[in-house]
A and B are shown apart, each in its own frame.
Chain A
Amino acid sequence: MFSSPSLLNAITVNITIDGRPIQVPQDITVAAAVLSNGLRNTRATPVSGAARAPFCMMGVCFDCLMVIDGISNQRACSTRVNEGMRIESQHGVGPEIEKSRHG
């Protein structure tokens, strides 16, 4: 869907996307990292389970919510990548809220 960002002359960081290790430039957002690494769907909605992906890329639509370093409901388009960052697709409301609902 999208091209990969150039790693030439770029300072890079190592991240994982759903467990898959990937090297990306350090100055890009999580949304840019996942879209340019072939992840088409980044979450399933809490209401119907429908697949969604980043939409506005400027922090207003909240469709790019992902689990980042274990914390769910993070806007991928407004979060920059970091060395060692763990990025996961989000299913529904996310693990913390799910856990608090079911004890």
Chain B
Amino acid sequence: MDSHYPLVIIGGGPAGLAAATTATEHGITVALFDEQPTLGGQIYRAIESVPSDRAKQLGKEYLRGKKLVDAFRQSKAHYFPDTQVWSLNKQREIGLLRNNKALIITADQVLVANGAMERPVPFPGWTLPGVMHAGAGQILFKSAGIVPADGVVLAGSGPLLLLLAWQYLHAGVDVKAMLDLTPMRNYLRALPKLPRALIAHHYLTKGLAYQLDLKRAGIRTVYGVNNLHARGGDSLESVSFQHRGKNETIETDLLLTHFGVIPHIWLTQAAGCRHQWDESQQCWRPQHDEWGNTSIDGILVAGDNAGIGGARSAEHAGRLAALQTTWILGKMNLQERDKLAKNDRKWMRKDLHVRPFLEAFYHIPQKTLLATPDDDTIVCRCEEVTAGQIRAAVANKHSDSNQVKFLTRCGMGPCQGRQCANAVAHIVAVASDKPIQKTDHYRGRPPVTPLSLGELATISPETTE
């Protein structure tokens, strides 16, 4: 590994892979760091090693990742798997952890393409063993071929829920029920945005095809579900919910939930990039232009960490960012950049047609879900701080997220607030009756991933490996 690269890319998912391939094609020396042992990001996880029968169960869209990975493998990019990025700053110094050794390198340009995570939405019982995110179920399936053995209940709101149900159906898993928590009023909310969305209709037709398959297979889908509750002693025993005013309980030892995904912003936050609350996507994201430029010179973003757009858009955004850095590094002129960017820009603009519809349709209600109405529900999984304790802090005039953190220890555990930051912001917003953008976000500081003192002591500017 060198101590300096013209372009460093963080993340080996669709955005990072497409960017690395494009930049190296134009003569840029690229280093790509990825925390996973294998390429593909979460969406195409294990794409290079997946057996063919499992690949078939995962569907056509998943197989698309193989082309991206193959092109990257044939490129001249330097690839470093199993590498954690624990720091990034304005000077484009990048803190890395690899083989238990910490080092700091520099870059002329940095593209952050570290993707998204599941939006954590606390509800009663969500900390019980046996309750996991839908994405966790998918990761187990993709990377190890492990699926629920004694049936599963899926619950939440968002396209991944439908996809996972479809994938499990093809893998022969007993999907006991799919509990759709999308509020019925979202149908009305999304309707005005439908005509525009039909321009990019492949998303919609895909979704409808999945739904039809599930229906044909006799999988029970319950729409308009409220009051989701995971119950059990030391682990999950049943799931209860309300539907059309009636309470119902389903016995299960596994519940997978999904409430959409949100960008990984810890690294761009630590670097000092300007962030904004995106009301439509209900998350914070770094501010950026069409090419991925953030508020800091030489730091770019692409893919879901820049704002949720999905795997296909991530590819295009990755290529746009690569063309931008190639131009900045003097390897092509502005006309060439614009000419080569034409297709990708066209895709990104087309994609903008369908997003408002999807975001309105899968809008998660604040009062009944995001702001954790039940006082006894744990919000901070690490420090075990409840919604009631947070509301008490707000009532005590601590009306921003960082003040709540200082007072309650909420967000001070090992996950560094990744699981509770959004819920705390929503609770503070509702309890103090102000817009969420005024609630402040936890301040993310390096190291953004765990680093032991022993590892820190190994720091040295790296020249060779």
Which A residues form the contact surface with B (CB < 8 A)?
1-6, 25, 27-29, 32, 35-36, 40-42, 45, 47-48, 50-63, 65, 73, 77-78, 80
Contact = CB atoms under 8 A, between A and B. Distances in A.
A68 to B, nearest CB: 13
Interface string B113-157: 000011010000001111111011001100111111110000000
B49 interface: yes
B234 A29 contact: no
B122 to A, nearest CB: 12
B42 interface: yes
A78 B419 contact: no
B135 A57 contact: yes
B296 interface: no
Contact of A1 (B130, B133, B413, B450): B130
B414 interface: yes
B254 A1 contact: yes
A36 B254 CA distance: 13
A32 B384 CA distance: 25
B190 to A, nearest CB: 28
B414 A35 contact: no
* Top 8 closest pairs, chain A to chain B, by CB: A53-B129, A57-B136, A62-B414, A32-B144, A62-B415, A57-B139, A47-B384, A28-B144
Interface of B: 35, 37, 42, 49, 117-118, 120, 127-133, 135-136, 139-140, 143-150, 234-235, 253-254, 264, 381-384, 413-415, 418-419, 449-450
Contact of A3 (B133, B139, B146, B414): B146
19 contacts: A1-B150, A2-B147, A2-B148, A5-B146, A6-B145, A32-B140, A41-B235, A50-B384, A52-B129, A53-B130, A56-B117, A56-B132, A58-B139, A60-B418, A61-B381, A61-B418, A63-B127, A63-B381, A65-B414
Contacts of A56: 117-118, 132-133, 135-136, 419
Given A2-B148, A29-B143, A40-B130, A60 B415 contact: yes
Contacts, number: 115
B385 to A, nearest CB: 9
Contacts of A60: 117, 264, 415, 418-419
B37 to A, nearest CB: 6
Contact of B127 (A3, A6, A29, A50): A50
Nearest to A55: B132
Nearest to B381: A63
Contacts of B144: 5, 25, 27-29, 32, 36
Nearest to A53: B129
Interface majority SS on A: helix, strand, loop or mixed? loop
A2 B256 CA distance: 12
A36 B146 contact: yes
Which of A6, A25, A55 has most B Cβ within 10 Å? Answer: A55
A102 to B, nearest CB: 20
A5 B384 CA distance: 33
A42 B128 CA distance: 11
A1 B145 CA distance: 14
B117 A80 contact: no
Contact of B131 (A2, A50, A55): A55
A62 B234 contact: no
Given A47-B384, A51-B235, A32 B143 contact: yes
A3 B415 contact: no
A58 B146 contact: no
B253 A1 contact: yes
B129 A41 contact: yes
B147 A3 contact: yes
Contacts of A32: 140, 143-144, 146
A7 B419 CA distance: 34
Most chain-B CB neighbours within 10 Å: which of A36, A57, A73? A57
Contacts of B42: 58
Contacts of B384: 45, 47-48, 50
Contacts of A3: 145-149
A27 B51 CA distance: 13
B420 to A, nearest CB: 10
A54 B415 contact: no
A60 B301 CA distance: 20
Contacts of B131: 55
B133 A57 contact: yes
Contacts of A36: 140, 144, 146
Contacts of A50: 127, 384
Nearest to B151: A1
Nearest to A47: B384
A80 B6 CA distance: 32
Nearest to A5: B144
Nearest to A59: B35
